[in-house]
């Protein structure tokens, strides 16, 4: 990494271990970076100033990476002191991240204010642009109200570089609303004429309907008189026929009742016999099911026992392989056993053994 992108040089390799092992050993290097930061005066009012803020924040980040890389190399070479080095690395990273955020804060505030300003102007323009597509079911009164409300919106220098676009969008939306109003007024006039014609047609239909109803009522009265006379004649014949049919129906019902009683007796006897056979079959099925359940349970227990033994042997083999790998890497056997045990019990964060 080029030192031009850093605010401080990194510790020489010959003294790096002493620097990282010592509590707050990186403070001299951090103080160099802090001095550069304190000497820098941020200016967000110009493009050059904003670029310089981003540049120094980038150099702080590059310094963090450079110092962190020195620590990484020490950890790789000196496995006996990783905790001390990692603690100092984290403190350094957190400090430089905070300083980077501190340096960039004015630029962040300016960028957010700029985004809010643009969003505010664009929001007003989008609002006016939406008037250009009025709903097709708006009445002429509603369209006039829309035109009045849009016309009340003032466009001035407060819109800054968006002023010209705002004037254009407002004019286009007013034109669209005026066109929609003209079309709607023509449509409403046409509908009023159609309504007048429909009312005249409805009046004529009402008169014709009333005349037809009176004529049909007279005809209906005559038909009803004729139908009542015919109904009285037919009723007399029907009463005689119904009396005869009732006697025949009674005789048939008595016969059917006797046959039904005999059928029900035979069916009841058959149901009783079937129920007895069903009970015997259920008892046999229940006994067979219980025998099968006992056999299945014994098989399940045996399978679970075999699976546990196999899993235990599998994990033991994997743990043994991990132990041998640790020892092959130079770790004493006791330390290797403790490491495998801690990892297997999931007591080491973010480290696990894949079984």
Per-domain boundaries in the chain: 3-123
The answer on pLDDT for 1 being more than 50 is no
Task: Please give the pLDDT value at position 99.
Answer: 92
Maximum average pLDDT range among 47-51, 181-185, 258-262:
47-51
Indicate whether 260 pLDDT > 70.
Answer: yes
DSSP 185-223: HHHHHHHHHHHHHHHHHHHHHHHHHHHHHHHHHHHHHHH
> Which of these, 123, 243, 227, 140, lies nearest to 182 by C-alpha position?
140
How many Å from the N-terminal Cα to the C-terminal Cα in the chain? 41
pLDDT digits (tens, 9 = 90+) for 68-81: 888 888 877 777 66
Residue range 74-101, pLDDT digits in tens: 877 777 667 778 888 899 999 989 999 9
- The number of angstroms, rounded, from the C-alpha of 94 to the middle of its chain's C-alpha atoms is 35
Confidence at residue 3, expressed as pLDDT on a 0 to 100 scale:
52
Q: pLDDT tens-digit profile of 306-316?
A: 888 888 888 88
- List of residues 6+ apart from 103 with CB closer than 8 A: 37, 40, 42, 53, 56, 57, 60
Q: Answer whether residue 337 shows pLDDT above 60.
A: yes
* Token pair belonging to 131: 């008037």
Per-residue pLDDT tens over the stretch 285-311: 888 888 888 888 888 888 888 888 888
Q: What is the dihedral of CA 283, 287, 289, 294, to 10 degrees?
A: 160
Which is more confidently placed, 304 or 355? 304
DSSP 8-state symbol, 155: -
Using only the alpha carbons of the chain, give its radius of gyration: 50
Judge contact between 331 and 339, C-beta under 8 A: yes
Percent of the chain surpassing pLDDT 90: 7
Closest CA to 63 of 152, 2, 124, 128: 2
Q: Say whether pLDDT at 4 is over 70.
A: no
Whether pTM > 0.85 for this model: the answer is no
**CA dist 96 to 24, 35, 101, Å?**
14, 13, 8
The set of residues, in sequence order, having a beta carbon less than 8 Å from that of 95 and lying 6+ positions away, is 30
Q: How confident is the model at residue 196 (pLDDT cuts 50, 70, 90)?
A: confident
């Amino acid at each position: 990494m080029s030192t031009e992108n850093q605010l401080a040089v990194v510790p020489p390799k010959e003294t790096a271990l002493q620097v990282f092992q010592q509590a707050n050993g990186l403070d001299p290097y951090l103080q160099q970076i802090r001095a550069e930061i304190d000497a820098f005066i941020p200016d967000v009012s110009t493009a050059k100033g904003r670029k310089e803020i981003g540049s120094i924040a980038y150099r702080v980040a590059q310094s963090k990476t450079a110092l962190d890389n020195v620590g990484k190399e020490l950890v790789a070479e000196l496995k006996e002191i990783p905790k001390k080095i990692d603690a100092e690395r984290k403190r350094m990273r957190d400090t430089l991240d905070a300083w980077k955020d501190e340096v960039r804060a004015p630029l962040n505030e300016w960028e957010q204010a700029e985004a809010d300003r643009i969003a505010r102007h664009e929001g007003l323009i989008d609002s006016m642009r939406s008037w250009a597509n009025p709903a097709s079911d708006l009445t002429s009164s509603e369209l006039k109200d829309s035109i009045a409300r849009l016309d009340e919106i003032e466009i001035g220098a407060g819109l800054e570089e968006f002023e010209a676009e705002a004037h254009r969008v407002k004019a286009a939306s007013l034109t669209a609303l005026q066109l929609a109003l003209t079309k709607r007024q023509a449509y409403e006039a046409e509908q009023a004429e159609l309504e007048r014609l429909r009312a005249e047609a409805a009046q004529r239909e009402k008169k014709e309907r009333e005349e037809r109803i009176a004529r049909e009522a007279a005809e209906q009265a005559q038909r009803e008189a004729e139908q009542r006379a015919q109904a009285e004649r037919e009723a007399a014949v029907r009463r005689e026929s119904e009396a005869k049919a009732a006697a025949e129906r009674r005789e048939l019902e008595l016969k059917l009742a006797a046959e039904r009683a005999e059928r029900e007796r035979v069916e009841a006897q058959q149901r009783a016999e079937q129920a007895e056979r069903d009970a015997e079959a259920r008892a046999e099925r229940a006994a067979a099911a219980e025998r099968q359940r006992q056999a299945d349970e014994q098989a399940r227990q045996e399978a679970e026992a075999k699976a546990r033994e196999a899993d235990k042997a599998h994990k033991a083999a994997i743990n043994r392989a991990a132990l041998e790998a640790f020892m092959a890497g130079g770790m004493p056997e006791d330390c290797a056993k403790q490491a495998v045990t801690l990892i297997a019990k999931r007591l080491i964060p973010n480290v696990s053994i894949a079984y």
